[in-house]
Structure 1
Amino acid sequence: MHRTILEVEHAAVQLQRPVHPGLVRELPFGQFDAPSEPSSHLHSHWISIQYHPAQCTAECADSRLEETAICNRYVSPAEREIEDFWHIGRANQPRWYDTPREVFPRAPGPFVRRSREDAGYSRELVVGQWGLIPWFAKTPKLTYSTNNARSEELEGKATLKDPWKRGQRCIIPAWTFDEPNWESGKNVWWRFRRADGQPWGLAGLWATWADKSTGEVHESYTMLTINADTHPLMRRMHKPDPKLSPDQQDKRSVIPLEPQDWDQWLAGTMADAKALLKLAPVEVFDAGPADAS
């Protein structure tokens, strides 16, 4: 069964430190592993953690955007690569890194949106937290995960409906993203690139949150997903639930945007944007085990 966001959060509580969902290993339902040390990839000791749903707070249960961890690890292009590929000027604050960088939930990451200062139309590069900070949050340091969001819930979810109706759509640049594959009976991380060698432009929403006590403004974003039960490639990702039929697994996929659709996504009407909420053709993907790439 899929590891839920609540389980990942529970791991962080038990270990008393943040745990990247991409580093949580899936085991039979009710338990999972997390690295015993907070290293990024080179970990040799794992701690088995029992998950007790009753111990999770109501706020965590009510506010999470994804019940299953979808994309929790990707590599962002360097700032100059984003500026060149998305035709953005260099007046970006704060600055992003000069080399490609791995991004995890709650870490800073870059995204592209319609410029807020341009009365016409242009794009701007913004750096914010990967994990949408909702308007009702009491602090920017969330105790629940909001890095993924179901596109089917854009109009009804409290966290999503205001950014969606306001047109706060963004594009998340990525050279690669990783997903777990369980076809061998154990988790094998797969890496996804574009077959044409270009970076991904993944559909997202952005938000700003202001601290009422200090006035500090925090930028944040979330990555949208869509049901992939019928997709030849993406339906193979994540651990299947043996109790459900193949067409009822609710496997998820990110939503890649093609270059010709960027302006429609960033500046179009809500109907224009809805038309782009779809699975990408399998031919777009170059995917395989991460260890072999």
Structure 2
Amino acid sequence: MCSHYEAPLRKLLQSAYPSAAIPDAWDAPDMWPGYIGPFLRRPPGHDAGDEAVPALQVDLGNFGLVPAWAKDETLSRRTYNARSETVAQKPAFRDAWRRAQHCIVPAVAIYEPDWRSGRSVPTRIGRADGEPMGIAGLYEQRRTADGRTAFSFTMLTLNADAHPIFRELHRPDPRLGPDAQDKRMVAILPRGLYDAWLDAPVEKSMDFMRMFPADRLVAEARPAGPAAQLNISV
């Protein structure tokens, strides 16, 4: 599960998505659950034939999905990732999944703990070609008590027991055998599938839950910075 990632700064995001409408600024790129960061989605009316409406829109949202029924945003500390196998049943995610509220979470890199040495070693994982990753996600919007529209998002995950990189990460579960650990990875999308994911109906959503090739990623031990001291379960 991914609780820590680097969001691209505005200049890099504009370069990667030149046709997208992008807000001026957001929180520091070091992202943890509850922080505000960018995500990409289709804007309302994008398919109405109006050339003034961009094909992509970048909104700022809470990292951690906050459904409309939530009393406040503290739920985001537990909803930053959604298991693709159970997302359709979980109360926090099922409405966004049913409505196919697909989004892309841009990330320069993600951090995961490597426990092979017997202790947690923060490991930075990014694309080998240096491009930002596009992670398949779901977004939600809700009306706050003061009348604002607040966005939030989550990253979708899938089993990675067979992935050459992600199978080595996270603390092993002693209750399970080495071949049944349910190691997880986020659903990193190939660039050529971005549009297809954003436009996919709910019955096609699971088609995109595939392991991203290991030879297109680079993993290296890297200190996670002072925010790693936060008490966040991974």
SS at match of 1:142: helix
- Aligned-residue sequence identity (percent) comes to 35
| Amino acid across the alignment from 1:137 | A
Partner Cα separation in structure 2 for residue 102 and residue 88 of structure 1: 25
Residue of structure 1 aligned with 2:151, choices 212, 219, 224: 219
* Deviation digits for residues 259-279 of structure 1 (CA, Å, limit 9, x no counterpart): 110000001222443211111
| Amino acid across the alignment from 1:255 | A
Q: How far off is 1:100 after superposition?
A: 7.0
| Amino acid across the alignment from 2:78 | S
Partner Cα separation in structure 2 for residue 89 and residue 223 of structure 1: 20
Pair 1:96-2:25 in alignment: yes
SS at match of 1:127: strand
| Amino acid across the alignment from 1:266 | L
Pair 1:74-2:74 in alignment: no
In structure 2, the gaps of 5 or more residues are 49-53, 224-234
| Amino acid across the alignment from 2:132 | P
Residue of structure 2 aligned with 1:242, choices 152, 174, 177: 174
Q: Does the 8 Å CA contact 2:34/2:77 hold for their aligned counterparts?
A: no
* Deviation digits for residues 108-160 of structure 1 (CA, Å, limit 9, x no counterpart): 01000111242347110011100100122012343751111101112211111
1:132 aligns to what?
65
| Amino acid across the alignment from 1:170 | C
1:142 aligns to what?
75
Q: How far off is 1:233 after superposition?
A: 1.3
Q: Does the 8 Å CA contact 2:8/2:107 hold for their aligned counterparts?
A: yes
Residue of structure 2 aligned with 1:112, choices 29, 40, 58: 40
Partner Cα separation in structure 2 for residue 200 and residue 128 of structure 1: 18
Q: Does the 8 Å CA contact 2:84/2:206 hold for their aligned counterparts?
A: no
Q: TM-score, normalised by structure 1?
A: 0.70
SS at match of 2:39: strand
* Deviation digits for residues 187-218 of structure 1 (CA, Å, limit 9, x no counterpart): 1111101011111111110000112x432211
Q: How far off is 1:284 after superposition?
A: 1.5
Residue of structure 2 aligned with 1:289, choices 221, 225, 229: 221
SS at match of 2:162: coil
| Amino acid across the alignment from 2:13 | I
Q: Does the 8 Å CA contact 2:62/2:76 hold for their aligned counterparts?
A: no
Question: Residues 186 and 171 from structure 1, CA distance in 2 versus in 1: closer, same or farther, beyond 3 angstroms?
Answer: same
2:160 aligns to what?
228
